[in-house]
Structure 1
Amino acid sequence: MPTKLMMIFVGTDFIFAACGGLILGFSLMAEQNMTASPTSENVAPNLLLNQCPLTAGVVNSIFIFITFLLSLPALFLPQNRGWLRAQGWLVVFCATFTLGLGLAVWASTLQTRRNLAMLWARETPLVQSLLQQKFDCCGYFNSTSPPFIQDGTCTNSLVAVQKGGCIGQFSSFTNSYLDVIFTAAFGIVGVDVLLILCVAMVLKYRQEQERYRHIDEKNGLDGL
């Protein structure tokens, strides 16, 4: 009959594996979306995703799956503690890895306007035009710095001056979009910490059970 502690441990372990699937699915879908032809709807998200550590996310998810697989022997060997220790250290590694990814994305939001200015400057006129269409603006800082791209949104200089630059709208969109990503990463780290606590409690429980078994053996009760 499984104890409540083991049920919590198993549930948290499966949530941990699901988090790995979430990271893998997000990374692969993001990489696939970035190969699509740019439109006014996908141009901004794709530019931001291209700045995220997606390949590192795939590697992180692989380590999470390996850690989950190593936890299975610990579930089926109720007296074993070696597999649990190995899992615990691997969960610490995965948590540190995920935290690093989240911090990398978070750090990029600290200098959003500067980063976006460099991003805007190296993009093609087509991409700049699509960004103007998405945010209904002209140029980055303003219509002349850098010069706006003449298109259906910015038809002439007078219209461009009235609409203003894209810096405000693009920055707001970037911050809100990246906030979701690094907040999700920090949430996954929270799951990792919970699993580490569960591993520690199961290790303590099994250690106590082994100690009681040795006491019973010394008393001639054959470990019962």
Structure 2
Amino acid sequence: MQLTTFGTYVVVDLLFAACGGLLLIFALVTQSQITQTPTIDNVATDLLLNMCPLTAAIANAVFVFVTFLVSVPAMVMPMTRGWLKFQGFLVVVSALFTMILGLTIWFDTLKTRSNLSNIWNQQPASTQSLLQQKFNCCGYMNSTSPAFVTDSACPSALTAAANIGCVTPFVTFANNFLDIIFTGAFGIVGVDVALILSTAMLLKDRKEKERYRHIDEKQGVGAF
């Protein structure tokens, strides 16, 4: 069944709200997760997630919900255009907000090596040890720069010297992980653009109907 202009708008608007929900859930779950005790399984992802602008993501999600609420009058009042125009403006702002978040994370991937070096140096020995065990490496650049932590992955200086530094596997993991996050942000921007287009189409459709209604009223036919 072919969707009408209004039906398309409603579907995309609901997708827009769903994206806001996903953004909020991601930010809140992430904030809760990074406060937990690090383990081999979560230590790397938690350090990377802590780099993401989570507070800004929550603010963005709230803005999405406010924008969706603005669309409710536009849906229940079939001929109104003022609410549609207002929502269209808010969607543009929301799209720019989300794009800035995505670009911020993307820009961080261009500096992953130096960023992770700073993060590594800020971690206690226990966290560095977990990273060494996760990536089977010793030290950051190598076993002496900075010095490795003695653990099951690096039980001695001789073993550590023969092993690789954590920089290569950690940077590769970080880039792949952050790529998924900023790609998701750009995907949300794609939904925003679709909503802007569907809003513009609905505005045009309602403008045409309003024009015909005025013509009919002048001819004495009455509104249709």
What range is the shorter-chain TM-score in?
Answer: over 0.9
2:104 corresponds to 1:104? yes
Distance 1:207 1:6 in 2: 13
Question: What's the CA shift for 1:122?
Answer: 1.2
Task: Report the CA distance shift for 1:38/1:30 in structure 2 as closer, same or farther (over 3 A).
Answer: same
Structure 2 match to 1:28 = 28
SS of the aligned residue for 2:110 comes to: helix
Distance 2:42 2:160 in 1: 23
Structure 2 match to 1:179 = 179
SS of the aligned residue for 1:133 comes to: helix
Q: Match for 2:108: what amino acid?
A: S
Structure 2 match to 1:90 = 90
Question: What's the CA shift for 1:221?
Answer: 1.1
Q: Match for 1:175: what amino acid?
A: N
Structure 2 match to 1:115 = 115
Structure 2 match to 1:221 = 221
Structure 2 match to 1:61 = 61
Unaligned runs of at least 5 residues, structure 1: none
The 5 A counterparts of 1:111-150 are: 111-150=111-150
Task: Report the CA distance shift for 1:220/1:193 in structure 2 as closer, same or farther (over 3 A).
Answer: same
Distance 2:40 2:13 in 1: 41
SS of the aligned residue for 2:131 comes to: helix
Distance 2:134 2:82 in 1: 55
Unaligned runs of at least 5 residues, structure 2: none
Distance 1:160 1:3 in 2: 63
TM-score by length of structure 2 reads 0.98
Distance 1:37 1:114 in 2: 25
Question: What's the CA shift for 1:19?
Answer: 0.2
Question: What's the CA shift for 1:223?
Answer: 2.3
Deviations 1:96-152 (A, max 9, x none): 010000000000000111111111111111111111011000000000000001111
Q: Match for 1:22: what amino acid?
A: L
Question: What's the CA shift for 1:222?
Answer: 1.8
Name segments (4+ residues, structure 1) moved above 2 Å: none
Question: What's the CA shift for 1:3?
Answer: 6.3
Q: Match for 2:18: what amino acid?
A: A
Task: Give the fraction of aligned pairs with identical amino acids, expressed as a percent.
Answer: 54
Question: What's the CA shift for 1:162?
Answer: 1.3
Distance 1:3 1:183 in 2: 29
Question: What's the CA shift for 1:153?
Answer: 1.1
Distance 2:10 2:220 in 1: 34
TM-score by length of structure 1 reads 0.98
Aligned length: 223
> Cα RMSD between the aligned structures?
1.1
Deviations 1:67-89 (A, max 9, x none): 11110110010110011011101
Deviations 1:13-41 (A, max 9, x none): 00000000010010011011111101111
Structure 1 match to 2:208 = 208
SS of the aligned residue for 2:47 comes to: helix
